[in-house]
Structure 1
Amino acid sequence: MLASLRQERILAAVHAHGAVRVAELVDELGVSDMTVRRDITELAQAGLVRRVHGGAVALDARARATDEPGFEAKQGWAAAEKAAIAAQAVRLIEPGQSIALSAGTTTHLLAREIATDPALRPLTVVTNSLPVAEALHGAGPGLDVILTGGARTPSDALVGPVADHSLSRLRVDTAFLGVHGMDPDGLTTPNLLEAATDRALVGCAARLIVLADHTKWGVVGLAQIVALDEIDVLVTDAGLPEPARRALAQHVERLLLAPSPPATPPAPGAP
């Protein structure tokens, strides 16, 4: 396949899903890891995508402070990294606790981990996320789920005064927060109402654990949720660049790196 055709397919995949991983493109295009990385570099130099560790993301998907993609669209972004983060985060939960899970695709994966682990019972989970509540529904005895209520956003979060009031009356051991973006100034989201509800969720917890894959670094949404100094534990993946790790280490009490997903080896004889 000609380089121009490969790059057209890579660009189409980025536009369709918001982000692509090198390993996925190696399988789809039948070329080597090096070839895919070279194509991504050329697309980035042309100003068509933004290169990140392990792949590429769409410029417009990450650049607009008010852009709020839907839940289904975000599920495909850094999916393997999010799964690794969820698997790391579930180890921070102990039976007998009460926890809060915010809306988000990574917290949804954490909910699925919780639902399949009977060793975590008894457990009480407060959430403002419809997908999280659905993932936990019917998981068996010993798992109590409290859904806040509120107005629904494109990311299937329940937000607004009803959600904020519900959270203000609760106290939990730990809040697990998913975010749209993070930078040296803190955590952000494009939705003003969701930012307020996330702050209420953080406020009802004794400890804050943030779940954010490496592609969230440098992304700035319209509304700030909390500053980095308010984070007790940040669980991210090994793709987070070293400068970002150093910046976070100055503020976050504990930084946990989930292992990177294994790379797919190139097919024999691939260019």
Structure 2
Amino acid sequence: MLAQQRQAAILDRVRAAGGVRVTELAAEFGVSDMTIRRDLDLLHDRGLLAKVHGGATLTGPGSTDEPGFHAKSVRQSAEKAAIAARAATLVRPGAAVALSAGTTTAELARHLVDVPGLTVVTNSLPVAEILHAGGRDDQTVVLTGGVRTPSDALVGPLAVGAVRSLHLDMLFLGVHGITERAGFTTPNLMEADTDRALVAAADRLVVLADHTKWGTVGISSIVPLGAAHLLITDDRLPTEARRTLAEQVGELVVVPGAERGVAQ
């Protein structure tokens, strides 16, 4: 296959799936990771896709843009893994916790499959699948039900109604964006309602957000910054953002990012 043909095929896959991984493309086309990275560099320079850690995604997000779960899963994967590992240390056996939808919360779920006696309430299909695959008989997973979004969240009146009668120790909340004025935001109006119901049901709110969420604004605010008891982020968060968040959230935890690949 010629380079131009391969690049056209890569672009088709990004448009179809929302995101691609370097390792998967290299295996599919029978070339090296470095060759794929050069292809992504060229397509990125032409404005046809956006390079992210380990792969590429579609370009042009807006306040209502809602990437699919797979597209988001290839973004900042090292940072999300580090954030999730830190968040997992907060969960004790026998606790009742909620995990909102998101790729960082899905990463957290992988750390929770071995926690005994845990009850997890979630509106995330991937989170529920991860915990179900763990196969622990002493864990209870409550899936809210609701209308499915492009990011595999369950939202709407059914989801809100399922959450309102619950009392939870802690909520781990994934967000689309963070700004000082808008607080924590999402691009989906019904997801904001569902997230607010989860916040109201939990004694403690822990927000999981990598550095790219700072300065991004979704169309709907979930809660203001001051509602977060704890915000866990990575060490690529700008100094000014750290200062602002440290002043407004209950506690700011900055974790070192895991070792990152060459392509950023």
Would the TM-score normalized by the shorter structure come out above 0.5? yes
Q: Indicate the SS of the match to 1:177.
A: strand
Cα 1:170–1:82, aligned 2, differ >3 Å: closer, same or farther?
A: same
Aligned partners of 1:97 and 1:205: how far apart in 2? 12
Instruction: Give the aligned length.
Output: 244
Aligned partners of 1:201 and 1:257: how far apart in 2? 24
Cα 1:158–1:248, aligned 2, differ >3 Å: closer, same or farther?
A: same
Does the 8 A contact of 1:20 with 1:78 survive in 2?
A: no
2:231 pairs, out of 198, 210, 234, with 234
Cα 1:251–1:20, aligned 2, differ >3 Å: closer, same or farther?
A: farther
Cα 1:252–1:48, aligned 2, differ >3 Å: closer, same or farther?
A: farther
Cα 1:101–1:153, aligned 2, differ >3 Å: closer, same or farther?
A: same
Aligned partners of 1:52 and 1:150: how far apart in 2? 31
- Listed as ranges, the gaps of 5+ residues in structure 2 are 23-31, 36-40
- Listed as ranges, the gaps of 5+ residues in structure 1 are 22-26, 31-38, 267-271
Aligned partners of 1:106 and 1:264: how far apart in 2? 19
Please report how far the alpha carbon of residue 57 of structure 1 lies from its aligned counterpart in structure 2 after TM superposition.
8.0
Cα 1:158–1:174, aligned 2, differ >3 Å: closer, same or farther?
A: same
Q: Deviations over 1:197-241 (max 9, x none)?
A: 000011100000001111111110000001000000111111111
Does the 8 A contact of 1:54 with 1:239 survive in 2?
A: no
* Residue number in structure 1 paired with 2:183: 186
* Residue number in structure 2 paired with 1:253: 250
Please report how far the alpha carbon of residue 265 of structure 1 lies from its aligned counterpart in structure 2 after TM superposition.
7.6
Cα 1:161–1:170, aligned 2, differ >3 Å: closer, same or farther?
A: same
Does the 8 A contact of 1:49 with 1:57 survive in 2?
A: yes
| Aligned partner letter, 2:156 | G
Aligned partners of 1:254 and 1:54: how far apart in 2? 30
Percent identity, please.
52
Cα 1:47–1:153, aligned 2, differ >3 Å: closer, same or farther?
A: closer
* Residue number in structure 1 paired with 2:27: none
Cα 1:256–1:146, aligned 2, differ >3 Å: closer, same or farther?
A: same
Does the 8 A contact of 2:20 with 2:71 survive in 1?
A: no
Task: Within 5 Å, give how 1:39-188 maps onto structure 2.
Answer: 60=60, 62=61, 64-115=62-113, 117=114, 120-137=115-132, 138-184=134-180, 185-188=182-185
| Aligned partner letter, 1:166 | A
